[in-house]
Amino acid sequence: MHYVQVKGILSAKNGMNLYRGCSHGCIYCDSRSSCYQMPHAFEDIEVKQNALVLLEEALRRKRKKCMIGTGSMTDPYIPLETELGSVRQAMELVYKYGCGFTVLTKSDRILRDLDLLQKINASAKCVVQMTLTTYNEELCKKIEPYVSTTRERFEALKQLRDAGIPTVVWLAPILPFINDTEANLRGILDYCIEAGVYGIICFGMGLTLRDGNREYFYQQLDRHFPGLKKRYIDTYGNQYVIDSPNSKQLMQLLRQKCRQHGIIQDNQQLFAYLSTFTSNQADLQQSLFE
Mean pLDDT for all residues in the chain? 95
Confidence of residue 282 (pLDDT cuts 50, 70, 90): very low
pTM of the model: 0.94
Confidence of residue 279 (pLDDT cuts 50, 70, 90): confident
Span 46-87, pLDDT tens digits: 999 999 999 999 999 999 999 999 999 999 999 999 999 999
Query: Where in the chain are the domains?
Result: 2-279
CATH annotation of 2-279: 3.20.20.70
Burial tier of 274 (Cβ tally within 10 Å: 0-12, 13-18, 19+) = buried
pLDDT (mean) for 192-209:
98
Span 151-198, pLDDT tens digits: 999 999 999 999 999 999 999 999 999 999 999 999 999 999 999 999
Helices 247-261 + 182-195 axis angle, to 10: 20
**CA dihedral sign of residues 157, 266, 279, 101:** positive
Answer whether 141's CB lies under 8 Å from 150's CB: no
Cβ-based neighbour number of residue 183 at 10 Å: 10
Which pLDDT score is estimated for 284?
41
Answer whether 132's CB lies under 8 Å from 170's CB: yes
Sequence-distant (≥ 6) Cβ neighbours of residue 29 within 8 angstroms: 22, 42, 213, 216
HEC profile for the chain? CEEECCCCCCCCCCEECCEECCCCCCCCCHHHCHHHCCCCCCCCCEEECCHHHHHHHHHHHCCCCCEEEECCCCCCCCHHHHHHCHHHHHHHHHHHCCCEEEEEECCHHHHHHHHHHHHHHHHCCEEEEEECCCCCHHHHHHHCCCCCCHHHHHHHHHHHHHCCCCEEEECCCCCCCCCCCHHHHHHHHHHHHHHCCCEEECCCCEEECCCCHHHHHHHHHHHHCCCHHHHHHHHHCCCCEEECCCHHHHHHHHHHHHHHHCCECCHHHHHHHHHCCCCCHHHHHHHHCC
Answer whether 54's CB lies under 8 Å from 232's CB: no
Span 24-36, pLDDT tens digits: 999 999 999 999 9
The yes-or-no verdict on residue 139 having pLDDT over 50 is yes
pLDDT (mean) for 121-149:
98
Answer whether 129's CB lies under 8 Å from 166's CB: no
